[in-house]
Amino acid sequence: MKKIISWFSISLVIGLSGCNWLGVRDRSNDYLLAEETQPTVVPAEMDSLDLGQIYPIPPIPGKPAVDRDFEVPRPQPASVNTFEQLVKIQSMDGRRWVLINISPSEVWPRVRSLLNRNGVPAAKAEGSNGIIETTWVNFKTDTENSHRFRFYIAPGVQLESTEITALHQQVVSGNEEQATWPEDSDSDTREQDMLSLLANELAAASDYASVSLLAQNIGGAAKVEVMTPEVADPYIMINLSFDRAWASISYSAARGGFVIVDKNRSEGLLYVNYSEQTEEDEGFFSRWFGDSSDNEVLEANYRLLLDKVGQTVEARIVDMKGNSLGQTESLRLLQILRGNMS
């Protein structure tokens, strides 16, 4: 019995000691010694397509020049939208859509799956254009007509978000082949019910791990971009109507350290106050009992300018006299505004 215990102890020690006891070197930490090597150079007469970068870094358009005396800026504060409701229905100017804080490439397979589960399979799906068209279906409450839906899935105004719109069509059963898509839904109630179904299903889902590789650029380019020209101050380019751009900028200008003091919509002008405040700025007793400084009247220290340029809207920030803030300061404030847009 003692010999058995002894051999068991020896086997346990050998197992814990790893491969080094057998003369085999442990290579699990060799990656820490890896060094950067030069890219492989392929002769000009040969094809180098298969030797491209595995993770290419795209160029940054209009990258601002960095001064020699450069100070690393503080990290941008987290967007307030990050902590808001994940799925919700929004509407403006007679248009209605589902907003979800997930990228289109993750939403695309989820929408197709839930449509199939609810007996409305897709007859057409174009990932590059973000379009899903369903087959003709019949509802129990309407046996005389056939119905179908067209969904548009596109990047949202918020960062890493998706907007889903729906178009409803109905025709008398038997006339499906001659039907063409209308510009507006034949039934606003059917459209609203379908979007409510999508919103409830997406809100109830907890796993968004699946991603569609075909929908990486779904719905086209982003609706909002921060532009940094080389010879001009940065600005936010918004590919939306002026009404929605104004609403989105106004929403953002009341969050993330910004406070709207006054505004003039006809001139596309907002007077805002921005101050960097952290939780450490407020002491325990001031948070508990309040502070008289909360009653102070804020004065505007920046102006936000919105100009309609062609089919887009450009938003800029200047000081109270209308002077430039410089690329660094202007870009910092615009990125905060862009992060909170919705």
Please tell me which residue, 205 or 230, carries the higher pLDDT value. Answer: 230
* % the chain with pLDDT above 90: 26
Q: What's the alpha-carbon Rg for the chain, to the nearest Å?
A: 28
**Residue 228 CB: number of other CB atoms within 10 A?**
19
In contact, 164 and 198? CB cutoff 8 Å: yes
Please tell me which residue, 202 or 8, carries the higher pLDDT value. Answer: 202
Beta pairing class for 162-172 and 235-238:
unpaired
CA nearest neighbour of 229 among 334, 303, 133: 334
Domain range 224-339, CATH architecture: 2-Layer Sandwich (3.30)
* % the chain with pLDDT above 70: 72
Instruction: With cut-offs at 50, 70 and 90, classify the pLDDT of residue 242.
Output: very high
Q: Is 313 a residue whose pLDDT tops 90?
A: yes
Average pLDDT over residues 227-253: 89
In contact, 158 and 101? CB cutoff 8 Å: yes
Looking at residue 68, what DSSP letter applies? S
What letters, b where the CB count within 10 A reaches 16 and e where it falls short, cover 5-29? Answer: eeeeeeeeeeeeeeeeeeeeeeeee
Average pLDDT over residues 94-99: 88
Looking at residue 63, what DSSP letter applies? P
Average pLDDT over residues 125-150: 89
Instruction: With cut-offs at 50, 70 and 90, classify the pLDDT of residue 275.
Output: confident
Q: Which residues touch 208 (CB under 8 Å, ≥6 apart)?
A: 102, 106, 107, 110
In contact, 196 and 91? CB cutoff 8 Å: no
Q: Is 20 a residue whose pLDDT tops 50?
A: yes
Average pLDDT over residues 310-316: 92
In contact, 109 and 211? CB cutoff 8 Å: yes
Instruction: With cut-offs at 50, 70 and 90, classify the pLDDT of residue 164.
Output: very high
Please tell me which residue, 143 or 15, carries the higher pLDDT value. Answer: 143
CATH number for domain 93-215, candidates 3.90.1640.10, 3.40.50.2300, 1.10.730.10, 3.30.530.50: 3.30.530.50
Please tell me which residue, 214 or 331, carries the higher pLDDT value. Answer: 331
Please tell me which residue, 250 or 53, carries the higher pLDDT value. Answer: 250
What's the pLDDT score for residue 68?
Answer: 54
pLDDT in tens, 98-117: 998 888 888 888 888 888 88
From 119-123, 194-198, 273-277, 284-288, the region with the lowest mean pLDDT: 284-288
Instruction: With cut-offs at 50, 70 and 90, classify the pLDDT of residue 265.
Output: very high
What letters, b where the CB count within 10 A reaches 16 and e where it falls short, cover 91-126? Answer: eeeeebbbbbbbbbbbbbbbbbebbeeeebebeebe
Instruction: Please list the residues that pair with 131 across neighbouring strands.
Output: 126, 152
Distance CA(114)–CA(99), nearest Å, equals: 16
Q: Which residues touch 104 (CB under 8 Å, ≥6 apart)?
A: 130, 153, 154, 155, 162, 215, 218, 219
> Tokens 């910092």 identify what position?
332
Average pLDDT over residues 287-316: 78
Q: What is the residue-averaged pLDDT of the chain?
A: 79
What's the pLDDT score for residue 9?
Answer: 56
What's the pLDDT score for residue 204?
Answer: 81
Distance CA(308)–CA(126), nearest Å, equals: 31
Return the SS3 of 24: coil
**Four-CA torsion 319, 320, 321, 323, nearest 10 degrees:** 10
Please tell me which residue, 145 or 230, carries the higher pLDDT value. Answer: 145
CA-CA distances (angstroms) from residue 158 to 131, 163, 196, 203, 317?
A: 20, 10, 20, 17, 19
Q: Which residues touch 331 (CB under 8 Å, ≥6 apart)?
A: 64, 226, 228, 234
Q: Is 3 a residue whose pLDDT tops 60?
A: no
What's the pLDDT score for residue 284?
Answer: 47
Which sequence spans correspond to the domains of the chain?
93-215, 224-339
Q: Give the DSSP per-residue string, 83-95.
A: GS-SEEEEEETTE
